Chain A
Amino acid sequence: AQTVTQSQPEMSVQEAETVTLSCTYDTSESNYYLFWYKQPPSRQMILVIRQEAYKQQNATENRFSVNFQKAAKSFSLKISDSQLGDTAMYFCAFMKHGGGATNKLIFGTGTLLAVQP
């Protein structure tokens, strides 16, 4: 079975600064996707960034980038130039891919990020 661990329940960062959220996972699968989702107070879950396990290059989406270490099973999210609107709960998630896989996401427990003005 796959597990996803987020060891930082809460984090705080000053506006315009950089913050890194940690995520580790455990799986015996070789083909999978990893995601970071953001859930603001509105409760709507929004995809921040996606990483395919077979790609060595780290994914980047504007101010958001990941550090994907496949051997270490680590998948951290870096937010640069933090903005007040980044305040939210951030979830790391795993999805098996291929071989009859479905769209089942396995989530970590989340990290509550507060961006301070």
Chain B
Amino acid sequence: KAGVTQTPRYLIKTRGQQVTLSCSPISGHRSVSWYQQTPGQGLQFLFEYFSETQRNKGNFPGRFSGRQFSNSRSEMNVSTLELGDSALYLCASSMQGLTEAFFGQGTRLTVV
């Protein structure tokens, strides 16, 4: 059974640009959550999608957005990139009714 797949693995963008990250959950998992990991702020919850609906949202500016498709794949978008957006972005998928979250290997975003 394939794990959670995040693409791309590495990304370098310039300030002011926008970026889209992708996450394909484990087959059968309908919940996808996104986390930002930085040395200064640690692991912070961005948002969670379940059956194409945003179910929960963390304390991030509106520049951070996401969506989920009918096949449960999810994308997150960051517009008007800032240097502080440089981070490891982790995606996790879960099956409804179960608490275990399976994580992908993350996308390392560097904003220059």
Contact = CB atoms under 8 A, between A and B. Distances in A.
A51 B42 CA distance: 22
Contacts of A106: 45
Contacts, number: 56
Given A97-B99, A109-B42, A43 B50 contact: no
A110 B45 CA distance: 15
Contacts of B94: 103
A106 B59 CA distance: 12
A16 interface: no
Interface string A91-117: 100010100001111111110000000
Contacts of A46: 103
Interface residues of B, number: 24
Q: Which of A43, A91, A110 has the most CB of B within 10 A?
A: A43
A104 B106 contact: no
Contacts of B90: 45
Interface in A60-103: 91, 95, 97, 102-103
B50 A50 contact: no
Query: How large, as a class, is the contact surface on chain A?
Result: 20 to 34
Interface of B: 31, 33, 35, 42-45, 48, 50, 55-56, 58, 88, 90, 92, 94, 99-106
The 3 closest A-B pairs by CB, nearest first: A45-B103, A107-B43, A102-B56
Given A102-B56, A105-B101, 15 more contacts: A37-B103, A43-B105, A46-B103, A47-B101, A47-B102, A91-B43, A103-B33, A103-B56, A103-B99, A103-B101, A105-B45, A108-B42, A109-B42, A110-B42, A110-B43
